[in-house]
Amino acid sequence: MQTMPPALEVNDLTVAYRDKPVLWDVDLQVPTGVLMAVVGPNGAGKTTLIKSVMGLMQAAAGSVQVFGEPAGRQQVRRIGYVPQRTSVDWDFPTSVRDVVAMGRYNRGGLWRRTDRRDAERVARALATVDMEDLADRQINELSGGQQQRVFLARALVQDADLYLMDEPFQGVDAVTEQSMVSVLRRLQEQGRTVLAVHHDLRTAPVYFDWVALLNVRLIASGPMAAAFSECNLQETFGGLAPAWANPPATTAA
């Protein structure tokens, strides 16, 4: 176990927007098989962290390794991605099933179309997120929570080892949130790794077992019980951390 490379290793990552650092010298290790929440205030660079790992943003400095290899085209199929739901135009003329199938588009070359095994995979993923009844629904008729589940299903059919999710519970009702969390748990049971931007400090310690506290710099990261401390939260949120965010680890002690 000790010799296994971490699912994700970020070294000295600095990302700037017009000479203003959005991420400053971030070193982060995400061990294989954990559910890690990325927590921090608005503008802390949480989305930027996810996007630079995916190669969607140019880093000013630093390196990213995925399962011990430099991030690049070879690793692409080992990473699944759930972008923010507001990042696309939901008025696009297509169905739920079609969007989920896009998770398989990068398998095979130019001439390959979606085959029966892909179709079965798509159906299974839709069942996993409780969307099978809406498979043929137009995507412009979906609620926010349903849109979020479509993106989760699309990531599931990517069959990845490391999942990067940008606010997967945004706009989701409480019941759906619980069922999505159980999907994440199942991914973990299968030995997969999840790194998710999460906004709700109350539920972060309940849903995730590891945490990264980010505010341009990485304040702390590690197992929830160790890193999600009042002191670290204060530093991350600049003394504005709400009282209810007191970590259960310290209140229990």
Site for another protein in 126-165 (CB under 8 A): 138, 140, 154, 158
The stretch near another protein (CB under 8 A) out of 26-34, 88-96, 117-125, 205-213 is 88-96
Query: Using N-to-C axis directions, what is the helix angle for 144-156 and 174-189, rounded to 10°?
Result: 10
Please pick, from the candidates 21, 25, 29, 76, the single residue that binds another protein as defined by CB under 8 A.
Answer: 76
Identity of the residue, 54 or 249, whose beta carbon is nearer to another protein in the bound complex: 54
Examine residue 89 and tell whether it contacts another protein (CB under 8 A): yes
Residue in 21, 89, 85 with CA at minimum distance from that of residue 52: 21
Residue in 137, 136, 141, 140 with CA at minimum distance from that of residue 92: 140
Identity of the residue, 60 or 225, whose beta carbon is nearer to another protein in the bound complex: 60
Examine residue 92 and tell whether it contacts another protein (CB under 8 A): yes
Tell me the pairing of strands 61-66 and 69-70: antiparallel
Contacts of 74 (CB under 8 A, 6+ apart): none
Examine residue 54 and tell whether it contacts another protein (CB under 8 A): yes
Examine residue 102 and tell whether it contacts another protein (CB under 8 A): yes
Examine residue 239 and tell whether it contacts another protein (CB under 8 A): no
In DSSP notation, 228-251 reads S-HHHHHHHHTT---GGG--HHHH
The stretch near another protein (CB under 8 A) out of 3-11, 20-28, 47-55, 232-240 is 47-55
Binding site for another protein (CB under 8 A): 51, 54-56, 73, 76-77, 79, 81, 83, 87-89, 92-95, 99, 102-103, 105-106, 110, 113, 138, 140, 154, 158
